[in-house]
Every structure is written in structure tokens, then in C-alpha cells.
Amino acid sequence: MGEPGEGPSAERAEAFRLRAVEFVRRMRGASQPSLLRCEDGASYVVKFRNNPQHVRVLANEMLAGRLALLIGLSVPRPTVVDVPPELIAASPLLQFELGTRREPCAAGLQFGSRFPGVPGRTLVVDFLPDRLLKDVVKKEPGCFLGALVFDKWTCNCDGRQVIFYRLQDREGSSYSTTLIDHGFCFNDGDWNFPDSPIRSLYPRRMVYGGVRGLDSFEPFLSRVENLEASDLADCVRGIPEEWCGEQPEELTRLVERLYERRRRVRQALIEARDSSLAPFPNWR
């Protein structure tokens, strides 16, 4: 397996733009995404510009996905997916349910998060029982800790979400993990940073059992702190302007603020430690 975590290169991520060729199925979720097969033969969970959340969810997903790659986190490859109008017209399920109203999903450039493997052959789940989650944490101890560094930095206003995946026919084999759903980083459509010590934690606190101190968050903490402004500027290149809402120029300011914030993550982790949730019981 091992598709997510394509390597820390924003330029590489930028190059991925693919045409959708087939509707596979709808996915669960408030943005009402759909799984589409693309011209490369892989499938992508696609969020549409006119989704019921916010148009900027697409810009957030792309920017956050690239930033995550930049610091070496495992995320599904973020991709611009071009959905032809004919595919929308030929797929009756490519529409949003908005109360009693229906609205077709927009054609054109949408955000795609690559499905890890082949649907039907790869099992993907959002939740694992404690025993299996423990195995995952043991196998990839930095996964949830790197995610917390990232979420504090980007002020992810959603709880941390991950998917676990393995080959369907390998019952008993271990799961791999990858980080998904960055639509609410930078506070959704607001593009600001209402920081809070109790934000962005994974609901299953056992994933933080290995935290002994700030060193436990390495190498991710230092990687964020040492980013260059030009690395961040690279991450917004090629993000379609129509994903940015009414004031697309705010995207430049957003990455400037991310640069300014990069050395505040350390303190944010200490504030999380001292919060009422006390998420790191083994911090010495």
C-alpha cells in the first residue's frame, strides 16, 4: 500500500490536475462529496465548489494538503479534478440534497482527495476499536502527534479526522493511517485563527499516551518552525481563484499569517497540555 504521503514537495502536488471519467458513489459527510474515478485510473473523493459548506473548503483542502506534505505528514494526494459537464448530466446522483431542494454539483475544477487503493479491494474506515487503534499508534507513533502540530498551526476548527485502510482480503493485516478533511483549517471560510487550547484534538485520547514532552512532537514541530516564506508561497500556486470566494486576494495574506504563526505552535501545545482536557497524562 503506501500511496498517501507522496513526499514533501509542494511543486509535485501542484502538478496534479486530472479529468474525472466516472461517478463511483456518494460519500457521507456535510459537504456531500462523491467518489469519482479519474483518467489516471485512481479514484478521488471530490468536494465540489457549490458544496453545502463553503466554497473555500476547496482552497483549504488544497492548501492544507500541500502544507501537510511539506512537513512530511501522510495525506492523500490533493488534486485538482476537472469534472466535465457531460459527467454531471449523465450521473443523476451528482447533485446536492439541500432540504427539499436538489442542486446539481458544479462542473469544472473541483478538489479531489485520492482514495488509497482501489474501491472494493481496499477497505477504508473512519473508526477502529481500541485494540486496532493501539496497533496503528504503535506502528506510526508520529501520525497523530504530527497532526496535532499541524492542526495547531493551521487552526483546524474541526476535530482531527483520519482514515484507516488495508487490503480488503487481508483480514488481520495491520491498517495504515492517513489524515483527511482539512476543510475547516484556517477557520473554514473566515481565513482567520481563533486559537483555543482544546481545539483540534483527536477524540480518542489514547493516541496521545506516548507524549512525554515537546520532543515527542518532533520532527514535525521543528519542520514547521523552520519553514521558509517561499515554501509557503509555493503552496498556493495554481489554486483556482474560484475556490477562494469573493476576495481571492486574501489567500496571499493567509499564507503570510501562517508564516508569522509558525513559531507559536510550541506554546499552543503547552496550552493544550494545561487545558481542562489534560490530553497528555504522561507528559513529564
Ligand X SMILES: Nc1ncnc2c1ncn2[C@@H]1O[C@H](COP(=O)(O)OP(=O)(O)OP(=O)(O)O)[C@@H](O)[C@H]1O
Binding site for ligand X (CB under 6 A): 27-31, 33, 45, 76, 113-116, 124, 126, 161, 163, 180-181, 183
| Bridge partners for 108 per DSSP | 83
Q: From the CB of 184, what's the least distance to ligand X, in Å?
A: 8
Could you give the CA distance from residue 112 to residue 62 in angstroms, rounded to a whole number? Answer: 9
Residue 6 interacts with which of ligand X, Mg ion, none, CB < 5 to 8 Å by class: none
Q: By C-alpha distance, which of 149, 147, 144 is closest to 226? A: 149
Q: From the CB of 181, what's the least distance to Mg ion, in Å?
A: 4
| 31 versus 110: smaller Cβ distance to ligand X | 31
Residue 79 interacts with which of Mg ion, ligand X, none, CB < 5 to 8 Å by class: none
| 62 versus 227: smaller Cβ distance to ligand X | 62
Q: From the CB of 163, what's the least distance to ligand X, in Å?
A: 5
Could you give the CA distance from residue 262 to residue 223 in angstroms, rounded to a whole number? Answer: 9
| 5 versus 183: smaller Cβ distance to Mg ion | 183
| 52 versus 210: smaller Cβ distance to Mg ion | 52
Residue 265 interacts with which of Mg ion, ligand X, none, CB < 5 to 8 Å by class: none
Residue 12's contacts (CB-CB under 8 Å, 6 or more residues apart) are: 6, 69
| 30 versus 90: smaller Cβ distance to ligand X | 30
Residue 163 interacts with which of ligand X, Mg ion, none, CB < 5 to 8 Å by class: ligand X
Residue 178 φ then ψ, to 5° = -145, 150
Residue type, 168: Q
Residue 143's contacts (CB-CB under 8 Å, 6 or more residues apart) are: 73, 74, 136, 137, 162, 177, 179, 207
Binding residues vs Mg ion (CB under 5 A)? 161, 181
C-alpha separations of 134 from 138, 151, 228, 273 in Å: 6, 22, 35, 21
Query: Using only C-alpha atoms, what is the Rg of the chain?
Result: 19
Q: From the CB of 77, what's the least distance to ligand X, in Å?
A: 9
Q: From the CB of 30, what's the least distance to ligand X, in Å?
A: 3
| 25 versus 253: smaller Cβ distance to ligand X | 25
Q: From the CB of 26, what's the least distance to ligand X, in Å?
A: 10
List strands edge to edge, sheet with 161-167. 122-125, 161-167, 176-180
- What is the CA angle 141-144-146, rounded to 5? 90
Residue 77 interacts with which of Mg ion, ligand X, none, CB < 5 to 8 Å by class: none
Q: From the CB of 210, what's the least distance to ligand X, in Å?
A: 25
| 14 versus 181: smaller Cβ distance to Mg ion | 181
